[in-house]
Amino acid sequence: MIHPSAIIEPGAQLGADCEIMAGAIVTRHAVLGDRVVVHPYAVVGGDPQFLKFDRRTPTFAQIGEGTVIREHATVNRSIYEGKATVIGARCFLMTNSHAGHDCVMGDDVVLANNVMLAGHVEVGAFTFLGGGAAVHQFVRIGESVMLSGLARISRDLAPFTLVAERDEVSGLNLVGLKRRGFARETLRELKQAFRQVYLGSGNIRTLAAEALGSGAFTTAEAGRFLAFFAEGKRGFARSPKKAFGGAAAGSAEDSL
């Protein structure tokens, strides 16, 4: 359904049963899957906020099926020829949230009101970003992360974690994991892996590699958690114990 005063530019691609509400703008660079809903005054496929960008470059913003984009939210297109900013299926971008150019977002992600993702941010599936959170460019956020409102993130966030304030990991997102129906053995291994990486002594990347190579972890989820630390260039968010030499040592352990 296309509401009166919605703007859909020639060349935009819309899947079946999309709803574009009054005042919404879907540019010619947008590719929408089935059942996408775009609320008033949202802009999908707008130009990237990149000073050297040539507006003639053919790039895209791709929105997965069932995703809802609320009022005044913006999804910018890629800066690279033939490439796309990607929003997964069944995502929920709340009012005034922003996904910058070349972000890649997994399925079932929620951006609460006023969340700001800079360019090239990766967000894993089933992650929730709280209202007003700001994420630096090129940051990776793993799956099933729970990020608190007003957080400031400049480092990578490992999968399945709770994160707040300035890059502070406080524990595992156990509520989210249980809602996804993970088995008891999976939760046990994730707790063990978390302790070895975040509460151990030594380089966090090395600790994760040693744990992954030990053969002690058999579940796919623990493997994904540990493998996350092998990549990335921005460093990793830390627990208060790791970041401040034990000043807040109880917080990470209490969350487990």
214 domain residue, yes or no: yes
Domain stops at, among 138, 167, 201: 138
Same domain, 128 and 49: yes
34 domain residue, yes or no: yes
211 domain residue, yes or no: yes
Domain stops at, among 138, 167, 192: 138
247: domain range? 178-254
Is 245 in the active site?
Answer: no
94 domain residue, yes or no: yes
Question: Into how many domains does the chain fold?
Answer: 2
Catalytic-labelled residue, pool 29, 72, 98, 101 = 101
Residue 180, token pair as written in the block: 């996804």
4 by Cβ neighbours in 10 Å (0-12 / 13-18 / 19+) ranks as exposed
Q: Per residue of the chain (256 residues), what is the pLDDT tens digit?
A: 999 999 999 999 999 999 999 999 999 999 999 999 999 999 999 999 999 999 999 999 999 999 999 999 999 999 999 999 999 999 999 999 999 999 999 999 999 999 999 999 999 999 999 999 999 999 999 999 999 999 999 999 999 999 999 999 999 999 999 999 999 999 999 999 999 999 988 899 999 999 999 999 999 999 999 999 999 999 999 987 654 444 333 445 445 6
- Which pLDDT does position 255 carry in this prediction? 53
Same domain, 115 and 238: no
- The strand pair at 161-164 and 168-172 is best described as antiparallel
146 domain residue, yes or no: no
Same domain, 133 and 238: no
- Which pLDDT does position 173 carry in this prediction? 98
**CA-CA distance, 254 to 176, in Å (whole number)?**
17
Catalytic-labelled residue, pool 45, 64, 102, 142 = 102
DSSP state of 106: -
- Which pLDDT does position 185 carry in this prediction? 97
Is 23 in the active site?
Answer: no
- Which pLDDT does position 246 carry in this prediction? 44
Catalytic-labelled residue, pool 119, 130, 171, 176 = 119
Same domain, 122 and 183: no
pLDDT in tens, 198-220: 998 889 999 999 999 999 999 99
Q: Which of 156, 170, 174, 220 is nearest to 198 (CA)?
A: 170
222 domain residue, yes or no: yes
Is 102 in the active site?
Answer: yes
Domain stops at, among 107, 138, 169: 138
Same domain, 111 and 206: no
155 domain residue, yes or no: no
- Which pLDDT does position 247 carry in this prediction? 38
Same domain, 22 and 123: yes
Same domain, 37 and 96: yes
pLDDT in tens, 27-62: 999 999 999 999 999 999 999 999 999 999 999 999
Same domain, 117 and 43: yes
Phi, psi angle pair for 229, to nearest 5°: -80, -5
Q: Which of 150, 135, 148, 147 is nearest to 100 (CA)?
A: 135
Same domain, 19 and 68: yes
